[in-house]
Amino acid sequence: MSPHIVCLSFDFDAVSSWIVNGRSTPTMMSRGEFGAVGAPRVLSLLKKYDIASTWFIPGVTLQTYPEICEMVAAEGHEIGHHGWSHIPPANLPYEEERDQLALGNEAIERLCGQKARGYRSPSWDLSQHSVDLLLEQGFIYDSSMMGDDYTPYHVRKGDIIHPDARVEFGSPTELIEMPISWSTDDFPHFEYIRNKSSVTPGLRATDAVLDNWIGDFEYLRETLDWGILTYTCHPFCIGRGHRMLMLEKLIIALIDGGARFLTMESAVKEFLMRRAN
């Protein structure tokens, strides 16, 4: 077995991420609706190469697109928790964050027969309460932070940041972090967003992004005896034709490079077994 693992993950936000940012006009909604076009394309590509992946799905997406979510589960992909309505937990009071975690897990359990094992916070912004709540609700791993790139680690709680900017690090918990990065996320590279005071240009050429993404795996393979690289994609973003071609080229390059594809839950289990030996 290859010691170099790749986790392909897909955040099936659909319309939720646009609504929560106040972008609910028909045209903005249609950008999210394209996720219902992109998701089957992604599923077809994964099936072609027999790859199991992890899909982080908000509760409102589970309700809005039940047939597509059922397809994801039926084809053997892991379903992770991605909030209820795609509100970043850092913007929620404690009780509401707790309730949204519970609501999302109820929806996932109805679909999969079990609660989510993994969590990815909307917009990758945890609150001061998130770690305690995730542990309380039985999550095994989180995938919202960026403290490493190829090696999972135990999430801390109780960090203290002093007024003079000194930091006292808290204590590690049993929650495992599956680190991510904006550089291996399709959204900032490709999505064009125009605000009143700023523009996120996006719309990058796929060749440049593909070269970066393959380079991240090559560095893993050349420098570490074992490691995990996680890519994050959104069906409404990666599902566009030229980007689907890029995704297939990425998969082929990773296969040729000896990558082993696992769901994030399976990768976490391997990490824990390796650490125990």
Cβ-contact 72, 55 below 8 angstroms: yes
Predicted local distance difference test score (pLDDT) of residue 195: 77
Predicted local distance difference test score (pLDDT) of residue 213: 98
Predicted local distance difference test score (pLDDT) of residue 19: 76
Q: Residue 60 and residue 86: Cα distance in Å, rounded?
A: 8
200: left (phi over 0), alpha (psi -120 to 50) or beta: beta
What's the total number of domains in the chain? 1
Q: Residue 62 and residue 124: Cα distance in Å, rounded?
A: 20
**93-145: pLDDT as tens digits:** 999 999 999 999 999 999 999 999 999 999 999 999 999 999 999 999 999 99
Domain of 195 in residue numbering reads as 4-276
Taking 50 as the pLDDT cut, the residues of the chain under it are none
CATH number for 103: 3.20.20.370
Alpha helices in the chain (DSSP H): 16-19, 26-33, 35-48, 59-64, 66-74, 94-112, 130-136, 186-190, 206-223, 235-238, 241-256, 264-276
Q: Please state whether beta strands 227-233 and 199-200 pair in parallel, antiparallel, or not at all (unpaired).
A: unpaired
